[in-house]
Structures are given as C-alpha cells and as structure tokens.
Chain A
Amino acid sequence: MTEGVIVGGWSYVIGAYAVVAIGLAMYAVSLFQRLRSVRRQLAVQNLAVQKAGQNDRVRAPERGRTEDDS
C-alpha cells in the first residue's frame, strides 16, 4: 500500500540537514575570522597611535624652539 505516499527521499532529507549544518557552521567561522581580523587591525592602529604620541612628545620641544626662532 504505497499509493499516494512518497517513498524514499532520504537523500533530500540528509541534504537539507547538511545544508543547514554547513551553512550555520560557515557563518559562525566567518564571524570569528572577521572578529579576529578587526581586533588585530585595531591593535595595530592603537600601537601606531601610541608610537605617534611618543614621537610627538619627543619632537615637541624641537618644534617649540623652531617657532621661537622664527
């Protein structure tokens, strides 16, 4: 008695669950990669700003002297 009943179809079922599992996993991985990338970028920028600040402190007296001389 299989009239009107869809027989089989397990390949579609497995395919659907695999698509969801792979899709969600790939999105989660992409988020962690983006998070790591942007954190690294921010750390590099902060370092650059800190270095620039130190350089400014070193240069400040020189600039002051130059302005007075002129």
Chain B
Amino acid sequence: MKPITWQHALGALGLGLLVWGSAQALLVAPPDRHMGDVSRIISIHVPCAWVGLLVYTIAMVLAVGSLWSGRSRWDAALTAAIETGLVLTALMLLTGMLFARPTWGVWWTWDVRLTTTLLAFVLFAGVLTMRSFLEEPRRRATWTAVATIIAWVDVPLVYFCVRWMRSIHQVQSSPDTIDAAIYWPMRINAFAVLFLALWFIVLRTRVERLREEVDEVAPPAPVVTAA
C-alpha cells in the first residue's frame, strides 16, 4: 500500500472541509432575511472568488520569479496556477449566474464586477492559448510570464471596482455585518477551496515538469548506415 503523500493529504483535507462547510451552509445556516435560502449560494460562490483571485496573484508572483530566475520549475508552477485560477473563475462565474437569476432576475448583466471577472478569465485563458503556440521553452516561459503580469492588472480591478464604481453587485461584507452562522460556513469553504487549489497546483506542476522531461528525453535518431 502506497503511503499518502503530503500533496494528497492537502487534497483530502480540502475535500473534508468542503463537505463540512457545505453541510453547514445547506443544513445548519439560517436563511437570509431578504434573500431567503438563495443566500446559501454565497457560501460557495465567495470562496471560489477569493481563492481564484489569490491564485492569480500567486501566478503573478511566479511570473516575476520565472523572469528573475529563468528556471523552468517557476514556469511549470506558473502554468499550473493559471489553469487552477481559470477553473475557479469559471466556477465563480457559474455560481454567480445561479445567484443572479433569482436575486437580480437575469442570468447575466454587463455590470462592472461581472465584466472585469469575465475579462480576467479571457485574459488568463489567452495566456495559456498563446503559450500553446510557442515551442521554444525559454521563449515560451518569458512570454507566459510577461503576459501573466499584464493580465494580473485586471485582478485588483475585479476586487475594488465595486467600491470605485456604481455596481449592481454588492460591496465586500465584513464579519461584523454577517451572522456567525452564515459567516463560518463561508470561511470553512474558503479554506477548503484554498487547500484544493494548492493540491491542484502541485499536481499540475508535476504534470508540466514531467512533460519537460519527455521533451528532453527525446529518443535518438535511428542509425542510418550507408549502402
């Protein structure tokens, strides 16, 4: 029997917390005074948003590290972080749409928060798409890092736009304004999604590193003997 590595322990911890936090949100937390049971969506939507933006910020730090050091392991981790961020952004957008329909009456509106979030998704997806077209490893790493830093500029906009501009999306709440019974499931789910995201990044980085090895260990050309 294989021993459970620390990476998989991270995933198991994330999964356990997600089950616990979701059970708290669905079964224990009281419905909101105005939004009713629909408010339970916030306990999973907000953690995806928080961790998604955090993972993009980790990607930006990795991009700087990749440019600074020129080492391929930074580039591999950067790719992993971008992909994980994209998954979380997609989940954030989908759960947001499921929250918007019963509360705002529409699935989607071109509100500043929604638009900047979609823009982040498109920009980071663009980084990975651009990356797939570049074959030379050093050039690919440089361009990925530069594009990531440019794309990251949208991340603070996503977070602060609701304070800077008029938006249908609510501004950030604080624990002082939310009942603990509603706040705690959200916090537990935030840690759950964070641990799962870190697990994904570690696994995806390993895939990328092994792919590099595959490229390096190319089989030798067959021996051609003169006739």
Q: A-side interface residues toward B, CB under 8 Å?
A: 4-10, 12-13, 15-17, 19-20, 23-24, 27-28, 31-32, 34-35, 38-39, 41-42, 45-46, 48-49, 52, 55-56, 59
Across the interface, do A20 and B91 meet the contact criterion of CB distance under 8 Å? Answer: yes
Given A20-B48, A35-B203, verify A6-B102 contact (CB < 8 Å).
yes
Q: Out of B18, B34, B98, B219, name the residue touching A4 (CB < 8 Å).
A: B34
Give the chain B neighbours of A59 by CB distance below 8 A. Answer: 223
Size band of the interface chain B makes with A: 35 or more
Interfacial chain B residues near A38, Cβ < 8 Å: 207, 210-211, 214
> Which B residues have a C-beta under 8 Å from some C-beta of A?
11, 18, 22, 26, 33-38, 40-41, 44-45, 48, 87, 90-91, 94-95, 98-99, 101-103, 196, 200, 203-204, 206-207, 210-211, 213-214, 217-220, 223
Q: Give the dominant DSSP class at A's interface.
A: helix
* B214 A5 Cβ-Cβ under 8 A: no
Report the separation of the CA atoms of residues A13 and B206 in the bound assembly, to the nearest whole angstrom: 35
The tally of CB-CB contacts under 8 A between chains A and B is 97
Q: Assess the B196–A9 pair: CB atoms within 8 A.
A: no
Chain B residues in 8 Å Cβ range of A39: 210
CB within 8 A of A6: which of B103, B207, B217, B218? Answer: B103
